[in-house]
Amino acid sequence: MFNHDEWILEQQNPMISLKKWQTTVDLMARLYEAPTAYVSQYTSRGFQTVIANSNPANPYKAGDSFARDTNLFCRKVVQDCAQVYENHATSNPVWRGNPMMENNRFNSYLGVPIYWPDGTPFGTICVLDYAVTHYNKNFLELIWQFRDLVEADLMLNNQFMQLLELSTRDDLSRLLNRRGFFSQADKQVRLASRVKQNIGVLYLDLDNLKKINDQMGHRIGDKAIAALAAAIRKVIRESDVAGRIGGDEFVIVMLAEDEESLAKLTYRIRQELKQQAVGELQSIELSVSIGSRLFRHPHLSSIDKMVSEVDQRMYEDKLNNHRSLGKKA
């Protein structure tokens, strides 16, 4: 899903057709005979122009932004969740400090709110003119039709992302499946390269799953897998990428400062797994073998290669666990 609090221009999604939005605002500007038309997005960071019409008289372009407390026409639209039509702004003291009026001498503004599919504000679509305007009822209603075109794209994106979620999410663990994990993890590695950060990889394997399945049945085995997944979900950050890539195998990829951060996460997962051993799992001493490694920038390799290397470390941990159990016996 799109992060509603991040600029849409910084998020890549094939279902959002900015080219279609460009056609929409260009047509809107022509029909209103206005020098400026654009779609803006609202987040906690303020307002940003997503698409602006291509008229040379338009001083705004995609990516231009304003702080959220700026006295903007668009801010009024979002606050009131309603259409705003100001046909003679320079005569209205309400708009003092509005950079669009004071810096660019815009006199007329007509804008309506745009919403995400869940009903939260996305931003606005609007037209501005340097002259005083007198739009009739048809023009006041027409902008809502343009708004619907943009909202239809947002709805299509939402439906696409829901389908993508179904195809990349593992039902039992509620984490990414193998395909979803490697796709997202690859993006995480590319992000780390771009921002010059290290990547930490953890490879986890639930111990003794075959024994649990043989002695207690696959239903209990599935509960054990779900318990480890719940422990992982509990301790990772929202930015971390975690997935179930095999029957009892999980991988976590994260931006990490040092080896210590991986050791801390390993410890927290093991402690949380103990907390998840409730109900029918109380009689089982759940444990997990974990391999980890910090891959330092700029020596990052492909996600497949990094996971393969950490997989070997997990097997070393598993062998150590078996030796420890043997000594106890």
Q: Are residues 22 and 153 in the same domain?
A: yes
3 within domain boundaries: no
Shared-domain flag, residues 191 and 162: no
pTM attached to this predicted model: 0.59
pLDDT (0 to 100) of residue 224: 97
Report pLDDT digits (tens) over 257-308: 999 999 999 999 999 999 999 999 999 999 999 999 999 999 899 999 999 9
From residue 187, how far is each of 34, 158, 302 by CA, in Å? 41, 20, 11
Average of per-residue pLDDT across 166-194: 92
- Which are the contacts of 261, defined by CB distance < 8 A and separation ≥ 6? 200
Q: List the domain range (segments joined by +) for residue 316.
A: 178-328
Whether 160 maps to a domain, the answer reads yes
Distance of alpha carbon 189 from its chain centroid, rounded? Answer: 16
> Alpha-carbon dihedral of residues 46, 150, 187, 160, nearest 10 degrees?
140
Residues 254, 230, single domain; the answer is yes
- Residue the block writes with tokens 């919403």: 115
One domain for residues 16 and 37: yes
User: How many CB atoms within 10 Å of residue 116?
Assistant: 17
Mean pLDDT of 167-185: 93
Same domain, 132 and 23: yes
pLDDT at residue 325 tops 60: no
Residue 147's CATH number:
3.30.450.40
Q: End of a domain among 167, 198, 232?
A: 167
Q: How far apart are CA 310 and CA 279, in angstroms?
A: 33
**Does residue 188 share a domain with residue 106?**
no
The residues facing 198 across adjacent strands are 256
CA 280 centroid distance within chain: 36
Q: How sure is the predictor about 327, in pLDDT bands with cuts at 50, 70 and 90?
A: low
Mean pLDDT over 228-239 rounds to: 96
Q: Which of 210, 206, 204, 205 is closest to 240 using CA atoms?
A: 204
How many structural domains is the chain composed of?
2
| Domain-embedded: residue 112 | yes
Same domain, 304 and 219: yes
Distance CA(54)–CA(163), nearest Å, equals 34
pLDDT at 222: 97
**Is residue 1, in this structure, part of any structural domain at all?**
no
Indicate if the pLDDT at residue 100 is higher than 60.
yes
159 vs 31, higher pLDDT? 31
Which of 167, 200, 225 marks a domain boundary?
167
> Is residue 314 helix, strand or coil?
helix
Using a 10 angstrom Cβ sphere, with 0-12 exposed, 13-18 middle and 19 or more buried, the burial of residue 292 is buried
Residues 320 and 289 in one domain: yes
Residues 65 and 206 in one domain: no
Concatenating the DSSP letter of every residue in 194-227 gives HHT-EEEEEEEEETTHHHHHHHH-HHHHHHHHHH
Give the CA distances from residue 114 to residues 77, 155, 159, 217, 240, in Å, rounded to whole numbers and listed in that order: 9, 11, 17, 52, 31
In this structure, are 60 and 183 located in the same domain? no
Residue 207 lies in a domain: yes
Q: Is the pLDDT of residue 92 over 80?
A: yes
DSSP state of 176: B
- Alpha-carbon distance of 167 to 177, in angstroms, equals 8
State percent of the chain over pLDDT 90.
82
Where a domain ends, among 144, 167, 190? 167
204 & 60 share domain: no
User: 156 or 252: which carries more pLDDT confidence?
Assistant: 252
Residues 159 and 186 in one domain: no
- CA–CA distance from 121 to each of 44, 50, 149 (Å)? 11, 14, 16
- Summarised one tens digit per residue, pLDDT across range 114-166 is 999 999 999 999 999 999 999 999 999 999 999 999 999 888 878 877 777 77
CATH number for 195: 3.30.70.270
The pLDDT value recorded for residue 329 is 43
Residue 172 lies in a domain: no
